[in-house]
């Protein structure tokens, strides 16, 4: 059964981080032919849409907001919560980074979702 998977893509120094592409590759396996949706944050977010599409995202949410150029848990949580409510994914993949390790538990707890991490 195909699944809709949301991938949180991270950028640093005006380019997508390699872990974002790794998450997109994992999403292709998990989705079983379903849609892969990506989200990226910050004032340069729109610059990454085409590249995320090349790696399998059928839709990309570019949350272009200068306040998201620097990570804060609350700001990212609010932005990601809105995307999750719109997408209604079956699974959410976040890179195993400082941001992912901080944000994933908060998303799971506040939205009542399961969490698997290493």
Q: Model pTM?
A: 0.94
Q: Is the separation of the CB atoms in 8 and 100 below 8 Å?
A: yes
Assigned CATH class of 5-111? alpha beta
Nearest to 41 by CA among 90, 6, 75: 75
Q: What is the pLDDT of residues 3-59, one digit of tens each?
A: 999 999 999 888 999 999 999 999 999 999 999 999 999 999 999 999 999 999 999
Ranges of each domain in the chain: 5-111
Q: What is the pLDDT of residues 37-51, one digit of tens each?
A: 999 999 999 999 999
């Amino acid at each position: 059964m195909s699944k809709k998977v949301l991938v949180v893509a991270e950028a640093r120094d005006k380019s997508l981080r390699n872990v974002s592409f790794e998450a997109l590759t994992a999403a292709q396996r998990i989705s079983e032919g379903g849609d892969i949706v990506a989200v990226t944050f910050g004032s340069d977010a729109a610059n990454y849409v085409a590249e995320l599409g090349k790696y399998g995202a059928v839709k990309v949410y570019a949350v272009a907001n200068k306040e998201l150029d620097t990570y804060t848990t609350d700001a990212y949580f609010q932005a990601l919560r809105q995307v999750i409510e719109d997408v209604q994914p079956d699974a959410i993949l976040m890179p195993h980074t400082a941001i992912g390790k901080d944000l994933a538990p908060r998303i799971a707890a506040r939205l009542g979702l399961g969490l698997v991490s290493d």
